[in-house]
Amino acid sequence: MNLLQLGNERRTAVLAARELPGLDWLNFFVANFQTGFGPFISVYLTSTGWTQGAIGAALSTGTIAAMVSQVPAGALVDAMRSKRMAAAAAIAAIGVSALAIALWPNLMAISAAEVLHSFASAVLGPAIAAITMVLVDPSGFGERLGRNARYAAVGNAVAAGLMGMCAYYLSDRAVFLFAAVLAIPALAALATLREADSAPIRPRPTASARVPARSHNRSWQFLTDRSLIAFAVCAVLFHLANAAMLPIAAAAVTKRAESKAGLIIAACIVGPQLITALLSPWAGRVAEAWGRRPILLIGFSALPMRGILLACTADPYLIIAIQLFDGLGAAVFGVLFPLIVADITRDTGHYTTALGLVGLAIGGGATLSTTLAGLVADYLGVGAAFLSLAAVGMCATVLVWRLLPETRVAAEN
C-alpha cells in the first residue's frame, strides 16, 4: 500500500468518524439526563426533609454499587450480541431510576434507584464505547472518541443550566422528572444507529511485529498484558491526585468568598467543561497522529501544575483560572482511556470487560483521594493537601513516561 493510498484511506476514516449525527446526539442526551444525578439529588432530598446522614447513606449505597458494577457490567456488554440493546436497556433503567427518585422520596426507593442507576451507568458507558468501535474505522476511532467527549461535555453544561432553571422556577422534584423525560430523545438517537447491530468489530492494523495481531478468541490473556497493567496503575494515581482537588478548593472558596462562593464554584465546574468540549476532538486526532503517550503526558502533567498553583493562591478568582487545567486533563484522559484500552483488547473479545476493570481501579483511586486529602487538609492545612495531591500527580506523570509503552499500531505501508 503506497503512502498516497494510505493517506486517502485515513482521511476517509476520519470523515466517516465525523458523519455520525446519531452518535453525537446520543452522547449529548445521555450527558443531559445523567447530570440530574449529581449535586441536584442532595438539594432535592434536603428540601424533602432528609437529614444529611440519611442523604449520605443513600448516596454511599450508589457509590458502592457503582464500583461493584464496573466489571460485571463490562462483561455483560461483551457477552451481548447487540451493544445497542445493552445501551437501550441502560438508558431506560436510568430513566426509571430518575422517575422513582421524583415520585417516591423514601429511603428504600431512593436506595434502590441509586443502585439501579449505578449499574445502568456502568453498562451505558462501555456500550457506547463498543458501539463507537463497531461503527468507526480504527484509524478514526480516536477522533470519534474525542467528538463523543465534546458532545457529552456540552450536554453536561446545557443540562446543568436547564435543570437549575427547573429547580428555580418549578421545584427540585421537577429536575428528576425532566431527567426521566430526557431518556426519550436519547433512545431516539440510539435508534438511528441500527447498523451497529450487524457490523463486526473492525480489526486494528497489524503491521508492527512488536504488537502482533490477536485472534478474536475471547482469550483472558489480556489480564496479564504489561501495557494494560501499567495504564491501570497510572489511571489510579491520576484519579488519586485529581478527585479531591475541586472539593478541597470548593471548601476553601466557601470560607473566603462567602456569598459569592456558589457562583465561583459553578464557574469552576462550567469552565473545565468548556475546555473539555474544545480540546477532546484535538486530543483524539493528535493521539492518532503522534501516538498515545505524548498526549497522555500532556494531560497528566497538567495535574501537578494545577495542585502547585492551587497551593500557592488564596484568590477565589484565580482558582477559577487554575481549574481550567482540569479541562485539559479531563479531555485527554476521557479520550485516551477508552482508546488505549481498545488498542490493547480490541481483538480479544473483552474490550468492555477491560474498561470495567480499569474503571474499578479508577473508582478506588478517586474514593481514596477525597478521604486521604481531607485528612491531610484537617491536620496539615489546605496548602499541604494540594501539594500532596500534586506529588501524586507527578508520580503518575513519571510512570506514564517510564512504564507505559506506546500502544498505537501504525498501519502497513
Q: Are 250 and 118 members of one domain?
A: no
Residue 206: inside a domain = no
Q: Are 263 and 166 members of one domain?
A: no
Q: Which residue has the cell 462567602?
A: 258
Q: Are 359 and 390 members of one domain?
A: yes
CB of 268 within 8 A of CB of 361? no
Q: Which of 200, 231, 262 is the last residue of a domain?
A: 200
CB-based contacts of 361: which residues, under 8 Å, 6+ apart? 232, 235, 236
Q: Are 375 and 406 members of one domain?
A: yes
Residue 246: inside a domain = yes
Does the model's pTM come out above 0.85?
no
Measured CA to CA, the distance from residue 189 to residue 192 in angstroms comes to 6
256-292 pLDDT per residue, tens: 766 666 677 777 777 888 899 999 999 999 999 899 9
CB of 301 within 8 A of CB of 249? no
Residue 239's pLDDT is what? 94
Which pLDDT band, with edges at 50, 70 and 90, does 35 fall under? confident
Q: Are 162 and 236 members of one domain?
A: no
pLDDT of 251 over the 90 cut? no
Choice among 78-82, 193-197, 249-253 with the minimum mean pLDDT: 249-253
Q: Are 290 and 324 members of one domain?
A: yes
E strand segments, 307-393:
none
Q: DSSP string spanning 2-20?
A: -HHHHHHHHHHHHHHHH--
Q: 50: which 3 cell numbers?
A: 432528609
Residue 145: inside a domain = yes
CB of 389 within 8 A of CB of 373? yes
Q: Are 225 and 123 members of one domain?
A: no
Query: What is the number of structural domains in the chain?
Result: 2
Residue 11: inside a domain = no
Q: Are 334 and 389 members of one domain?
A: yes
Measure CA of the first residue to CA of the last residue in the chain; give whole Å: 5
Q: Are 356 and 399 members of one domain?
A: yes
Residue 309: inside a domain = yes
Residue 158: inside a domain = yes
Residue 22: inside a domain = yes
Which pLDDT band, with edges at 50, 70 and 90, does 19 fall under? low
Q: Are 240 and 365 members of one domain?
A: yes
Residue 229: inside a domain = yes
Q: Of the candidates 174, 208, 171, which has an alpha carbon nearest to the alpha carbon of residue 99?
A: 174
Q: Of the candidates 154, 153, 161, 157, which has an alpha carbon nearest to the alpha carbon of residue 329?
A: 153
The CATH number of residue 98's host domain is 1.20.1250.20
Q: Are 228 and 182 members of one domain?
A: no
Q: What is the DSSP letter of 106?
A: S
Residue 1's pLDDT is what? 46
Which pLDDT band, with edges at 50, 70 and 90, does 395 fall under? very high
CB of 334 within 8 A of CB of 142? no
Measured CA to CA, the distance from residue 117 to residue 184 in angstroms comes to 16
Q: In terms of pLDDT, which residue wins out, 389 or 349?
A: 389
Q: Are 294 and 239 members of one domain?
A: yes
Per the prediction, the chain carries an average pLDDT of 84
Q: Which domain holds residue 409?
A: 220-413
Work out the average pLDDT over 131-155. 90
Measured CA to CA, the distance from residue 145 to residue 128 in angstroms comes to 10
